[in-house]
Amino acid sequence: MTAFSDVADVVRRFDAHDHLIDEGTATAFFLAVLMGRPLLLEGEPGVGKTSAAKTLAAILGSPLIRLQCYEGLTAAEALYDWNYQRQLLSIRLAEAQGAAISEADLYTEAYLVDRPILQCVRYAGEARPVLLIDEIDRADDEFEALLLEFLGESTLTVPELGTLTARRPPIAVLTSNRSRDLHDALRRRCLYHWIDYPDPMRAAEIVRRTVTGASAALITHATQFVGAARDLDLDKAPGVAETIDWVAALAALGVADLAPAGAATALMSLGALAKTPDDRDALETAFAQYCPQ
């Protein structure tokens, strides 16, 4: 699949994959692909950052290589590792045959274990892969430094082998929920875009395309309520993903609208939106006062 011709083409092709994006997000993707620069997407949880990267890979016909970040993530899990079992086997085989084996013999590319970054370096397909570095803010501060070389130059330095260069540099998409500040060095290597919550009309259309069997009234009123709920003092404000879950749950329970007949069932299903007991209490109070417009 060819790259995008312009920003409008990005919007059209995302739309064809049932993923609605605004012009700002489309511009960010267009420039990232055109310029070959990593793209840092920030936004509240559940606004569609990860799914946008997945859709990009599907549109371009590219493999998606995912690096899921978490606290304690190390270079051996993200960049590359050595196959120590294979090295030990080679040593024992050489000893059994009375042959000499040097340290240099044991540290060749044949003994490298692919991790997401090395997988990108070694990738030799036609389409550029999409590298999704998901929730980079969950990793430790020090981990960011491990990514700087590859994000800036598409190279990976292995001390025993030297510098390896990606055959087809990936389209790198990083996502962050802003649970902590990212270092300036990482930000400087990336284009940046903030994904906000969609407006009510766009949110309703996203839900409509995702949840089959939900009535128009249910979708409209549910997205209205979730939009209003984000103004509450919640620990975890519900995003688009939670809205989809809630509407899907309501549709599965046979609810056609939030009020009046579906109100009791909708109230019991707020666990699809709330992620803490306090949030559930706040949402229950707000829902009791809510009247669909």
**190 and 239 within one domain:** no
Which pairing describes strands 80-82 and 112-114: parallel, antiparallel, or unpaired? antiparallel
228/243 same-domain check: yes
The SS3 call for residue 91 is helix
Mean pLDDT, residues 195-214 taken together: 92
Task: Report pLDDT digits (tens) over 228-272.
Answer: 999 999 999 999 999 999 999 999 999 998 877 778 888 899 999
Whether the Cβ atoms of residue 244 and residue 48 lie closer than 8 Å to each other: no
Does residue 242 lie within any of the structural domains? yes
Q: What is the mean pLDDT of residues 75-101?
A: 92
Domain CATH for 76 = 3.40.50.300
Look at residue 101 and tell me if it is in a domain.
no
Out of 102-106, 161-165, 223-227, pick the least confident. 102-106
> Closest by alpha carbon to 115, among 82, 160, 71?
82
Q: What is the pLDDT of residues 104-138, one digit of tens each?
A: 889 999 999 999 999 999 999 989 999 999 999 99
Q: Are 42 and 26 in contact (CB under 8 A)?
A: no
Specify whether 41 is located in the same domain as 175. Answer: yes
Quote the tokens at residue 12: 């059209």
pLDDT at 118: 97
Residues 56 and 167 in one domain: yes
From the number of C-beta atoms within 10 Å of its C-beta (0-12, 13-18, 19+), residue 16 rates as exposed
Q: What percent of the chain shows pLDDT beyond 90?
A: 85
The pLDDT of residue 2 is 65
The last residue of one of the domains, among 169, 195, 221, is 195
Q: In which domain, by residue range, is 256 found?
A: 200-289
pLDDT computed for residue 291 by the predictor: 59
Band the pLDDT of 293: cuts 50, 70, 90: very low
Please give the pLDDT value at position 292. Answer: 52
Q: Does 119 share its domain with 145?
A: yes
Residue 246 located in a structural domain: yes
* For range 74-102, the mean pLDDT: 92
Helix (H) or strand (E) holding 80: strand 80-82
Q: Are residues 155 and 72 in the same domain?
A: yes
- Give pLDDT, residue 288: 86
Stretch 275-281: mean pLDDT, rounded?
94
**Do 204 and 166 have their domain in common?**
no
Contact between residue 143 and residue 184 where contact means Cβ atoms under 8 Å apart:
no
Q: Residue 132: which residues within 8 A CB-CB, separation 6 or more?
A: 50, 53, 54, 57, 64, 65, 66, 67, 173, 175
Report which DSSP code applies to 170.
Answer: -
| CA–CA gap between residue 88 and residue 219 (Å, rounded) | 60
Question: What's the CA gap between 238 and 274, in Å, rounded?
Answer: 7
Q: Is residue 97 domain-resident?
A: no
Whether residue 20 is contained in a domain is answered as yes
- pLDDT value at 179 more than 60: yes
DSSP helix/strand/coil, 89: helix
What domain count does the chain have? 2
Task: Give percent above pLDDT 70 in the chain.
Answer: 98
pLDDT at 224: 93
Does one domain contain both 130 and 265?
no
- Residue 15 included in any domain: yes
Do 38 and 173 fall within a single domain?
yes
Give the integer Cα–Cα distance in Å for 25 and 30.
9
Spatial neighbors of 261 by CB under 8 A, at least 6 apart, are none
Same domain, 273 and 219: yes
- Tell me whether the omega of the peptide bond preceding residue 200 falls within 30 degrees of 0, making it cis: no
Same domain, 23 and 164: yes
Which residue from 261, 239, 240, 236 is spatially nearest to 250, judged by alpha carbons?
261
Dump pLDDT digits (tens) for 38-60.
999 999 998 999 999 999 999 99
Which of 2-6, 42-46, 142-146, 244-248 shows the lowest per-residue confidence on average (mean pLDDT)? 2-6
Helix (H, G, I), strand (E, B) or coil at 34: helix
Hey, how many other C-beta atoms are within 10 angstroms of the C-beta on 155? 14
pLDDT attached to residue 95? 86
Residue pair 142/185 in contact by the 8 Å Cβ criterion: no
* Of the residues 133, 161, 195, the one at which a domain ends: 195
- pLDDT tops 70 at residue 282: yes
Domain boundary among 132, 162, 195: 195
Alpha helices in 6-48 (DSSP H): 7-16, 23-35
Judge if 67 and 141 occupy the same domain: yes
From the centroid of its chain, how far is CA 14? Answer: 16
